[in-house]
Amino acid sequence: MVDKRESYSKEDLVASGRGELFGENGPPLPSDNMLMMDRVVIMTEDGGKFDKGFVEAELDIRPDLWFFDCHFKGDPVMPGCLGLDAMWQLVGFYLGWLGAEGKGRALGVGEVKFTGQVLPTAKKVTYKIHFKRVINRKLVMGVADGEVFVDGNLIYTATDLKVGLFKDTSAF
- E strand residue ranges, 15-167: 39-44, 54-60, 103-108, 111-114, 124-136, 140-150, 153-166
- Give the Cα separation of 144 and 162 in Å (integer): 7
> Is-cis flag, bond preceding 54, omega within 30?
no
DSSP code at position 101 = -
Instruction: HSE, CB side, 13 Å, CA atoms: give it for residue 78.
Output: 33
71 as an active site residue: the answer is: yes
| Cα angle, residue 156 at apex, residues 78 and 61 outer, rounded to 5° | 35
- Looking at 71, 105, 124, 132, which residue is catalytic? 71
Question: Would you please indicate which residues are annotated as catalytic (active-site) residues?
Answer: 71
